Amino acid sequence: MYTLKEPLENKNGQLFIDGVSTKTLAEKFDTPLYVISEKRIRQNYQRLNNALKQNYEKVKIFYAAKANSNLAVLKTMENEGANIDAVSPGEVFMALTSGFTPDRILFTGTSVRNDELKFLSDSNVTVNVDSLSQLDRLLKIAVPKVLSVRVNPEIGAGHHNHVITAGKQTKFGLWENNALKAYATAKAAGVEKFGIHMHIGSGVLDVKPFLAALDKLLGIARKIHEQVGIDFESVDVGGGIGVPYKPEDKELDLNVYSEKVLALFKNKTQQYGLGEPVFCVEPGRFLVADAGVLLTTVNTLKATPFRKFIGVDAGFTTLVRPAMYGSYHHILVANKMFASEEGKYDIAGPICESGDLLAKDRRLPKMEEGDLLAVLNAGAYGFSMSSQYNARPRAAEVLVKDGKYKVVREREQLDDLMVSQRMSAEWEQ
Ligand code: LLP
C-alpha cells in the first residue's frame, strides 16, 4: 500500500495535488502534463534550511537547476532565498532571468569552452573549476576575485553508475595533487577569495558516503590551507540527497544528515584551523522531486501471450529516467484511487523502441482506455531531461498552489518541431 504524502491527496477516489484535481488539469490542459506544487518546493527548501541551521549558522543552499529549470520553479527558489548551482551558460542565463544576482550563482561545469568561460566571467558568477586546463584558460580571460575548485574526494555514491561523480572512474573534479596546484596558481594570479567543492553523486539515501567524502575533502582542504596558505570562505558538499521512490524506500532523515555532517564539519574545520567557512549544499532532486507528478492518459490496452501492456501518451521522451537508469517511479491510477489491484502490467509509451516503458510488472487495478495515470516524483529530472525524439512535441507544465493553477510552460505544437530548421540549406563556400 502506498501512503500518499503532501502535496498529494485522495478525495473521493480522485487524486488531488495541492488542492487541485488531476482530472480537471488533464481535461483542461491535456496530457502528458507535468504538474508542480509551489508549496511543496517551498516546504522542501524550508525543511532542509531549518534542519541545517539547527546545527550551524553559516549555511547556504544552492538549488541544482538541472533538476528542473522551469522559470516558475527558479523564481520560487529565488523567493525562498536559495542560491543556484548552474552547469551551463544556459542555466546561468535562466537564473539571471529569474532574478538571481550573480553573487548567488555558482557555475560548476565540465569540458567548458573558452567562449563559455568568457560569458561566465562577463556575467560575474563564481566559477567552480573542474580542471587545471579550465583554470588556466579562465585566468587568461580575467582573474576573478572569487574562485572555487571542484575536488574529487575519491569516494562516490549514487543510485546508478551514470550518476556517481567521484572516485576512480569519473571525469569530474581535481585529484588532490592537482587541487594543490590549482589553488597555488590561482593565488599567484591574484584571486582573493576561495571555496572548495565536491559532489559525490546523486540519489543517495545513506549519510555514510557523505561523511566519508567530507572527511577526505576537509583533509585535502587542510593541506591546501597549510601548504598554499589558503583560507576558505566556503566548503560545498554538493548535492545528492536522495528521495524515496519505491514504497519501501526509507527517506534520508534530514536531522540525522544535518547533525552528523555538520558535527564532522565543525570538528574538522576547528581541528585543522580552517576557521568558520560557509557550509554549502547543492540539492536538486530533494527540493523538487516530490513536488511534481506527470499525468498521462491510457490510450491502448493490449495483451500478448506473454505480457499485458498499458499504452499511455507519455514515453521516454517525456520522462527518461526509467529507460535511462531503470528507475522506479510509483504510478497511481488518478481517477480510481480506491480500486484494488487486479493484475500486473507493463506501462508503455508511444516511442518506437522496446525500452520505452515507464514501468514493468506493475500491480494495478483493472484498467480502461481513458484512465488517468499519475507518475510520482516526477518533479526532478523529468521535463528537464525530455526530448523531441520521434518528433514528439514536449509536454506542458502547470504550477499549482492552494487549489489554484496556472500554465508555466505551454505544450509544444507541431510548429515547434521545426524551430531553427531549414528545408533546404543554402550552400556556403
Ligand atoms: N551539484 C552538482 C555539481 C551536480 O552535478 C548535481 C547533479 C547536483 C549538485 C544535484 O544533485 P541531486 O541533489 O539532484 O542529486 N539525471 C539523474 C541525476 C543526475 C544528477 C547530475 N548532477 C537522475 O535523473 O537521477
Q: What are the tens digits of pLDDT across the range 13-34? A: 999 999 999 999 999 999 999 9
Please report where in the chains the cell 548551482 appears, as a residue. 85
How much of the chain exceeds pLDDT 70, in percent? 99
**Do 313 and 240 reside in the same domain of the chain?**
no
Q: Domain with 238 in it: what CATH number? A: 3.20.20.10
Among 228, 254, 283, identify where a domain stops.
283
**Do 266 and 133 reside in the same domain of the chain?**
yes
Residue 309 bridge partners (DSSP): 302, 346
Ligand 1 test: best mutation among 44, 66, 84, 205, most atoms within 8 Å of CB? 66
74 occurs within a structural domain: no
Its domain, for residue 271, covers 109-283
Number of domains in the chain: 2
Q: What is the mean pLDDT of residues 228-238?
A: 98
- CA nearest ligand 1 atom 7, residue: 202
**Do 273 and 293 reside in the same domain of the chain?**
no
The total of other beta-carbon atoms located within 10 Å of residue 110's CB is 15
The predicted pLDDT at position 428 comes to 75
Among 232, 267, 283, identify where a domain stops.
283
Atom of ligand 1 nearest to the CA of 165: 5
Asked whether 135 and 186 are in contact (CB, 8 A), the reply is yes
Cα→Cα distances 106→83, 93, 147, 311, Å: 8, 12, 10, 42
55 occurs within a structural domain: no
Q: How confident is the model at residue 76 (pLDDT cuts 50, 70, 90)?
A: very high
Q: Ligand 1 in contact with 283 (CB < 6 A)?
A: yes
| pLDDT tens, position by position, 87-132 | 999 999 999 999 999 999 999 999 999 999 999 999 999 999 999 9
Which residue in 57, 304, 352, 427 is the catalytic one? Answer: 352
Q: Please count the residues of the chain.
A: 429
The predicted pLDDT at position 353 comes to 98
**Do 277 and 155 reside in the same domain of the chain?**
yes
Q: What is the mean pLDDT of residues 38-50?
A: 98
State in Å: Cα 285 to ligand 1 middle. 7
**Do 257 and 119 reside in the same domain of the chain?**
yes
233 occurs within a structural domain: yes
Nearest to 41, CA basis, from 14, 15, 75, 11 = 75
Among 222, 248, 283, identify where a domain stops.
283
221 occurs within a structural domain: yes
Grid cell at residue 135 = 583554470
**Do 278 and 302 reside in the same domain of the chain?**
no
Q: Ligand 1 in contact with 67 (CB < 6 A)?
A: yes
The strand pair at 126-129 and 105-107 is best described as parallel
State in Å: Cα 362 to ligand 1 middle. 27
The yes-or-no answer on residue 280 being catalytic is no
Nearest to 213, CA basis, from 249, 183, 232, 238 = 238
**Do 275 and 334 reside in the same domain of the chain?**
no
Q: Is the pLDDT of residue 326 over 80?
A: yes
168 occurs within a structural domain: yes
State in Å: Cα 158 to ligand 1 middle. 9
Task: Please tell me whether residue 301 adopts helix, strand or coil conformation.
Answer: strand
Q: Ligand 1 in contact with 69 (CB < 6 A)?
A: no
- CA nearest ligand 1 atom 8, residue: 239
What dihedral do alpha carbons 272, 277, 281, 282 form, nearest 10°? Answer: -110
Q: Ligand 1 in contact with 85 (CB < 6 A)?
A: yes
**Do 252 and 313 reside in the same domain of the chain?**
no
State in Å: Cα 284 to ligand 1 middle. 6
Cα→Cα distances 96→110, 125, 187, 343, 346, Å: 20, 10, 28, 49, 42
Measured CA to CA, the distance from residue 102 to residue 361 in angstroms comes to 47
**Do 263 and 303 reside in the same domain of the chain?**
no
| pLDDT tens, position by position, 77-91 | 999 999 999 999 999
Q: Domain with 367 in it: what CATH number? A: 2.40.37.10
The strand pair at 372-375 and 331-333 is best described as antiparallel
Q: Is the pLDDT of residue 425 over 80?
A: no
State in Å: Cα 243 to ligand 1 middle. 12
**Do 298 and 262 reside in the same domain of the chain?**
no
Atom of ligand 1 nearest to the CA of 201: 15
Asked whether 409 and 47 are in contact (CB, 8 A), the reply is no
The predicted pLDDT at position 226 comes to 98
Q: Ligand 1 in contact with 281 (CB < 6 A)?
A: no
**Do 181 and 298 reside in the same domain of the chain?**
no
What dihedral do alpha carbons 378, 380, 381, 387 form, nearest 10°? Answer: 60
Measured CA to CA, the distance from residue 293 to residue 32 in angstroms comes to 10
Q: Ligand 1 in contact with 282 (CB < 6 A)?
A: yes
The total of other beta-carbon atoms located within 10 Å of residue 420's CB is 4
Measured CA to CA, the distance from residue 148 to residue 21 in angstroms comes to 45
Element spanning 80, H or E: helix 71-80
State in Å: Cα 266 to ligand 1 middle. 26
398 occurs within a structural domain: yes
The torsion angles phi and psi of 208, rounded to 5 degrees, stand at: -55, -50
Which residue type does 290 have? D
Residue 93: CB partners within 8 Å, gap ≥ 6? none
Burial class (CB in 10 A: 0-12, 13-18, 19+), 369: exposed
Cα→Cα distances 231→62, 183, 266, Å: 21, 11, 15
| pLDDT tens, position by position, 361-414 | 999 999 999 999 999 999 999 999 999 999 999 999 999 999 999 999 999 999
**Do 270 and 300 reside in the same domain of the chain?**
no
427 occurs within a structural domain: no
Q: Ligand 1 in contact with 285 (CB < 6 A)?
A: yes
Q: Is the pLDDT of residue 429 over 80?
A: no
414 occurs within a structural domain: yes
What dihedral do alpha carbons 246, 247, 250, 254 form, nearest 10°? Answer: 90
